[in-house]
Amino acid sequence: MKILPYYLYVNRACYHLRVAFITIEGGEGVGKTTQVKLLKERFPKIYPDHKFIFTKEPGGTLFADKVRELILSDAAKEVSGKAIFGLFLASRLDHVERIIDPALKNREVVVCDRFAASTYAYQ
């Protein structure tokens, strides 16, 4: 069995539903959060028949928000990059299982401030 990245499974599973999973990626200070805020204001006006979920990574759930706090804390400076990567993955799994997957299955458009590309960039 060939293992595919998670997002390919989501795209294949949800393609027939006509939903979207949009990620805003980029380095520090380039305006990702600003763009997400603009989309949050404009998308419902442009597409009134669609439901939208706006979320972020790391974060998006209580657990993922706690992981985010830990990653940004002084304690994180003392551990390896692999350990930090593991925290990112734990945060993502919780976020995907509890926020992203249910929203896509409910035919909602998900807009995420950072996702996989940002995780790879930070490693």
Tens of pLDDT, residues 15-41? 555 678 888 888 778 888 888 899 999
Please give the share of the chain, as a percent, with pLDDT higher than 90: 30
Residue 1 inside a domain? The answer is no
Q: Would you state the pLDDT for residue 28?
A: 78
Q: Would you state the pLDDT for residue 73?
A: 92
Residue 107 inside a domain? The answer is yes
Which tokens is 36 given?
A: 């997400």
Q: How far apart are CA 90 and CA 65, in angstroms?
A: 11
Which tokens is 75 given?
A: 């304690």
Question: For the chain, what is the largest distance between any 2 Cα atoms, rounded to a whole number of angstroms?
Answer: 48
Q: How many domains does the chain have?
A: 1
Amino acid (one-letter) located at 39: L
Residue 24 inside a domain? The answer is yes
- 49-78 pLDDT, tens digit per residue, is 889 999 988 888 999 999 989 988 999 899
Q: How far apart are CA 89 and CA 4, in angstroms?
A: 16
The residues pairing with 112 across neighbouring beta strands, listed in sequence order, are 23, 55
CATH number at residue 97: 3.40.50.300
User: Which phi and psi (to 5°) does residue 9 adopt?
Assistant: -65, -45
Confidence of residue 10 (pLDDT cuts 50, 70, 90): very low
Q: How far apart are CA 121 and CA 11, in angstroms?
A: 22
What's the whole-model pTM score?
0.76
